[in-house]
Amino acid sequence: MNNVAKNNSIIKDINFEIVQDWSGGFKAELNFSSEKAITEGWQLKFSAPFEIKEIYGAELVKTENNQYTIGNLDWNEKLAANSTQKIIIIANDFGQPAQKATDFELLGDNQPTGQPVEPINNQTTLKDINFEIVQDWSGGFKAELNFSSEKAITEGWQLKFSAPFEIKEIYGAELVKTENNQYTIGNLDWNEKLAANSTQKIIIIANDFGQPAQKATDFELLGDNQPAGQTVQPIPSEPEEPVTPEQPPIPDPEPKPSENPNGTGQFRYGEALQKSILFFEANRSGGLPNDKRIEWRSDSALSDGSDVGRDLTGGYYDAGDHVKFGLPMSANNTMLAWGGIEYESAYKQSGQWDELLDAVKWGTDYFLKAHVSEGGKTKELYVQVGDGHADHAYWGPPENMTMARPSFKIDPANPGSDAAAGTASALASASILFRGVDDAYSEKLLDHAKQLFEFADTYRGKYSDSVQAANPFYTSFSGYADELAEGAAWLYKATGDQKYLTRAEDIYDNEYGYPSDWTWMADNKSNSAAVLLAQESSDPKYKQMVEGWLENWINGTGNVQYSEGGLAWRTRWGSLALASATSYLAQLYNDTVKQDSRYSDFANNQIDYILGDNPRNASYVIGFGENYPLQPHHRAAAGNAPYGQPSEHILFGALVGGPGSTNDFDYNDDRNDWVTNEVGTGYNAPLTSALIQQYNNFGGDPLSNAELDALPGIVVAEV
């Protein structure tokens, strides 16, 4: 993988940034570039007053005192001159203030010190090229064009070809020239440099004038702004080894979902909702039912809980990994149920009511297993299955996991008020959802919710203090008062018992005080609790709190900023999920407490941005629209796809993290970018509830069962 390198390559730029800090450790991003191209591997030496616990994008080669050497992996042994390589480091700082690494030295190419890297030849030769039609519809198609050069290109490139079609849209390049059926496309600013043998992917949306879709031919690559190099032969009609995994074309009678049948908004919100719920099925753990709709998923983690003699199978994997974290899972379940409670008639009209019930029940069935009671009192609650460090060291589908998956619990001696109260919220909200659907199940959920809330309120403490394995993944930074207030509010909604509303108000007023300047998320329920209290309490201060909080999001004040394209941006991690959550709460407040067109306009604009109304003209929901992410950070969906290539399976409905800054183009469709391109149930839960609001307001049909069944990797039993 990585050999001992000898050549002192000059570091052009290096930046070590601590992006997350917690008690005992931190997460850092290390970005570096070399002035010269590196073709046969590299190593980076540095000094650091911390212990590296995990590293991504490199391997740890050597550790001696505070001196570290890290090296390339197979996929990034070649670096183009001036290109940036990103490394993620999880470190133990032994309780001291986090400090940066220093004294960097980059070694590359296994050559004697001082020997220059082979100069780049301007006569660039095309090494491989593949033109694959990945979607075909009446009147047009979508194609992927992948190519590589035998030599590095440092100052821009152009690709010429012949094509019997009209290019309507292009991504990953710009259209430089069109003459008859001859096209010239060229690099964008961010991809003007290409490493030797590295693959560049271009997406083309074309008009085929109603004729059978045909491939482009007669490719010629020009590099470094020099005269044409060599002309390659036309690509064969059937490549022997296509770069991307072969899959059937996606039937799509509406190739542009923005053409919204039977709706008045920009998009087919029913289809987006339908696919968002599908993502939860892709992240199911345990034994799957015979009518499962995700063809490439099967039973997994069937021994969960065996280490403690309990059946803890089921529930949801958190994100692109396979740990089951109870705190975020309960938050997500609550958010899903909330959308169903408030917009039941819209769910039924959309045809997604039964699918919502299944999604919520998959979570609540797991919570019932995780809750151990005795004599009507909570004895313990299992709040995590799986070790995050061991889990993240494994890349593969959950069906093939072999590592130990330990179970972690809270109990009176080791409390976790946040996790217990969060689970109480999930069960209480679900009990309302299932009332009139399955009354016995509804009552069972409510009984467990009452027990868990009493336990959470009586035995106070943060679950991440009792369960160290939760750190640094889901540390409870906000404490537990927000979950306690929300849990009491949900029990009031479920029971009508005034004591719960009084308790919710008391906890919120005296132990929390005011909504945070963030929004709903796994570790923060202050905003959702405030909305619940604004709905239920006669005290007007909760309305004032919610409206004050929403002003920042609507106006882009406080810590909220707006991108040029209109995204309300709060932070780089999961930026779109936060916008989705605020959209849901803003629209809900408009619908149930105080009508204000600014709230509904905000919600509509944010969700439309996510679905494709943005400067990139791209959907951030996988499988929705024509230009969506192809390489999400998700182990199961990736399958056997090599790094840099589209996932083997389309992860329909998954919302990616989104722009990492207020720059609308600060997004990477890169499997290794788990900031902007990871997916998670915590991202899709608020999106799903926001989408049912959009459907309620604007309509837009979901796919028929036949259309859904025709999607690759999706099976509908009724068809």
| Residues annotated as catalytic (active site), given as ranges | 321, 633, 669, 678
* Secondary element (H or E) of residue 463: helix 463-466
> What is the Cα–Cα distance from 676 to 575, expressed in whole angstroms?
8
Other CB atoms within 10 A of residue 631 CB: 23
Specify the 3-state DSSP secondary structure of 104.
strand
284 touches 362 (CB < 8 A): yes
C-alpha dist (Å) from residue 331 to 35, 415, 427: 47, 18, 11
* Secondary element (H or E) of residue 364: helix 353-370
* Pair of tokens at residue 283: 């992240």
* Pair of tokens at residue 138: 């009446």
Query: From the CA atom positions of the chain, what is the Rg in Å?
Result: 26
Specify the 3-state DSSP secondary structure of 383.
strand
> The dihedral of CA 393, 397, 402, 403: what is its sign?
positive
- Spell out the alpha helix ranges (H) of 119-225: none
* Pair of tokens at residue 25: 């450790």
320 touches 392 (CB < 8 A): no
> What is the Cα–Cα distance from 665 to 615, expressed in whole angstroms?
8
> What is the Cα–Cα distance from 715 to 719, expressed in whole angstroms?
8
> What is the Cα–Cα distance from 16 to 31, expressed in whole angstroms?
7
> What is the Cα–Cα distance from 666 to 662, expressed in whole angstroms?
8
> What is the Cα–Cα distance from 44 to 5, expressed in whole angstroms?
10
Where do we find the tokens 């491989």? 128
